[in-house]
Structure 1
Amino acid sequence: MTDNTPHLKVDPALLKRRNAAEKRFRFYGLAAVMTAVLVLCLLLTSIVSKGYTAFQQTYILVDIRLDAETIDPKGTKRVEDLAAASYRGLLRNALREQFPGVEGRKDKRALYGIVASGAEFDVRDAVLNNPKLVGTTATIAVKSSDDVDSFYKGYIPRDVPESNRKIKDRELVWLDTLSADDRIVKQFNVDFFTHGDSREPEEAGILGAVIGSLYTLAITLALCFPIGVLTAIYLEEFAPTNKWTDLIEVNINNLAAVPSIVFGLLGLAIFLNFMGLPRSAPIVGGMVLALMTLPTIIIASRAALKAVPPSIREAALGIGASRMQTVFHHVLPLAMPGILTGTILGMAQALGETAPLLMIGMVAFIADIPGSMSDAATVLPVQIYLWADSPERGFVEKTSAAIMILLAFLVVMNAIAVILRKRFERRW
Structure 2
Amino acid sequence: MSLPTGNDAAEVRAKLAERRRSGLKRRHAAERRFRVFGRLAIAIGLFFLVALLYSVAGKGFTAFQQTTITLPITFSADVIDPDNQRRSDQNLLLTANYPLLVQDALAKTLGIDLANKAEMREAMRMISRSSRVELRDVVLKDPGVIGKTQDVRLLAAADIDSANKGQIDLSVPETSRRVSDQQLAWMNELKADGRLKTSFNTGFFTHGASSRPESAGIGVAFVGTLYMMGIVLVLSLPLGVASAIYLEEFAPKNRLTDVIEVNINNLAAVPSIVFGLLGLAVFIGFLGLPRSASLVGGLVLTLMTLPTIIIATRAALKAVPPSIRSAALGVGASKMQAVFHHVLPLAMPGILTGTIIGLARALGETAPLLLIGMVAFVADYPATPLDPATALPVQIYMWAGEAERAFVERTSAAIIVLLVFLILMNLTAVILRRRFERRW
Which segment is superposed worse, 209-218 or 137-146? 137-146
Find out whether 1:93 has 2:104 as its counterpart: yes
Moved more, 104-113 or 48-57: 104-113
Q: Secondary structure of the equivalent of 1:217? A: helix
Paired with 1:370 and 1:393, the residues of 2 have a C-alpha distance of 28
* Residues 1:396 and 2:408 are matched in the alignment: yes
How far off its partner does 1:69 sit?
Answer: 5.2
Counterpart pick for 1:412 among 424, 428, 440: 424
Q: C-alpha separation between the residues in 1 aligned to 2:149 and 2:116?
A: 26
Counterpart for residue 258 of structure 1:
270
Q: Which amino acid aligns with 1:94?
A: A
- Residue 23 of structure 1 is matched in structure 2 by 32
Task: Note if contact 1:66-1:133 (Cα within 8 Å) is conserved in structure 2.
Answer: yes
% same residue: 57
Identify the residue that residue 46 of structure 1 maps to in structure 2.
55
User: Unaligned 5+ residue runs, structure 2?
Assistant: 1-12
Shift of 1:368: 1.1
Residue among 307, 311, 319 paired with 1:307: 319
- Give the TM-score normalised by structure 1: 0.93
Cα distance, 1:130 vs. partner? 6.8
Calculate the TM-score normalised by the size of structure 2: 0.90
Q: Give the partner amino acid of 2:332.
A: G
1:83 is displaced (CA, Å) by 5.6
Paired letter, 2:399: W
Residue number in structure 2 paired with 1:115: 127
Give me the whole-angstrom Cα distance separating, in 2, the residues matched to 1:188 and 1:122: 17
CA distance in 2, matches of 1:278, 1:81: 31
CA RMSD for the aligned pairs?
A: 2.3
Residue aligning to 2:219: 207
Structure 1 unaligned spans of 5+: 1-6
Matches of 1:187 and 1:35, distance apart in 2: 38
Larger Rg: 2
Compute the displacement of 1:155 (Å): 1.5
| Matching residue's letter, 2:190 | L
Conserved in 1, the CA contact under 8 Å of 2:112 and 2:119? no
Q: Structure 1 residue 367: deviation in Å?
A: 1.2
User: Among residues 162, 166, 178, which one is paired with 1:154 in the alignment?
Assistant: 166
- SS at the partner of 2:213? coil
Letter in 1 for 2:108: E
Q: CA deviation at 1:65?
A: 2.2
CA 102–180 in structure 1, closer or farther in 2 if over 3 Å, else same: farther
Question: 2:86, 2:290 → 1: CA distance?
Answer: 43
Corresponding residue of 1:3: none
* Residue 128 (structure 1) shift: 6.1
Q: Is the 8 A contact 1:82 1:128 kept in 2?
A: no
Name the residue aligned to 1:363: 375
Question: Compared with structure 1, are the counterparts of its residues 276 and 77 closer, same or farther at alpha carbon in structure 2 (3 Å cutoff)?
Answer: closer
Which piece of structure 1 moves more, 281-290 or 113-122? 113-122
Match 2:186 to one of 174, 189, 207: 174
Of 358-367 and 105-114, the range deviating more from structure 2: 105-114
Cα drift, residue 306 of structure 1: 0.4
CA contact (8 A) 1:72 1:81 kept: no
Report the equivalent of 2:7. none
| Cα-to-partner distance string for 1:197-252 (whole Å, 9 max, x where unaligned) | 11110110101110101101111111111111111111100111111111111111
Is 1:352 equivalent to 2:361 in the alignment? Answer: no
Matched, 1:66 2:75: yes
Q: 1:137 is matched with which residue: 149, 156, 159? A: 149
Question: Which residue identity lines up with residue 229 of structure 1 in the other structure?
Answer: V
Q: Write the distance in 2 (CA, Å) between the matches of 1:77 and 1:150.
A: 42
- Whole-angstrom distance in 2 between the partners of 1:28 and 1:67: 74
- SS of residue paired to 1:367: coil
- The total of aligned residue pairs comes to 422
Structure 1 position 387 matched with structure 2 position 396: no
Given residue 102 of structure 2, which amino acid in structure 1 is its aligned partner? L
What displacement does 1:132 show?
6.7
Describe how 1:199-238 pairs up with structure 2 within 5 A.
Answer: 199-238=211-250
Distance 2:49 2:313 in 1: 31
Structure 1 counterpart of 2:76, one-letter code: D
Query: CA deviation digits over 1:342-391, x for unaligned, max 9?
Result: 01000100000011111111111111111110011110110000000000
In the alignment, the residues of structure 2 paired with residue 188 and residue 379 of structure 1 have an alpha-carbon distance, to the nearest angstrom, of 23
Pick aligned residue for 2:343 from 331, 340, 343: 331
User: CA shift at 1:196, angstroms?
Assistant: 0.7
In 1, Cα distance between the equivalents of 2:377 and 2:291? Answer: 13
8 Å contact 1:384–1:402 — kept in the other structure?
yes
2:10 corresponds to: none
Using the alignment, how far apart are the partners of 1:300 and 1:160 within structure 2? Answer: 58
| 8 A Cα contact 1:82 1:127, kept in partner | no
C-alpha distance in 2, partners of 1:412/1:77?
A: 51
Q: In the alignment, does 2:26 pair up with 1:34?
A: no
Q: Per the alignment, do residues 267 and 81 of structure 1 end up closer, same or farther by CA in structure 2, a change over 3 Å counting?
A: closer
Look up the equivalent residue of 1:96 and give its one-letter code: A
Q: Distance in 2 between matches of 1:308 and 1:411?
A: 28
Partners of 2:292 and 2:172 in 1: how far apart? 45
Between 294-303 and 66-75, the greater mean CA deviation after superposition: 66-75
* CA displacement, residues 297-335 of structure 1 (integer Å, 9 cap, x when unaligned): 110000000000001100110111110111111111111
Give the SS at the match of 2:215: coil
Aligned-partner Cα distance in 2 for 1:229–1:83: 55
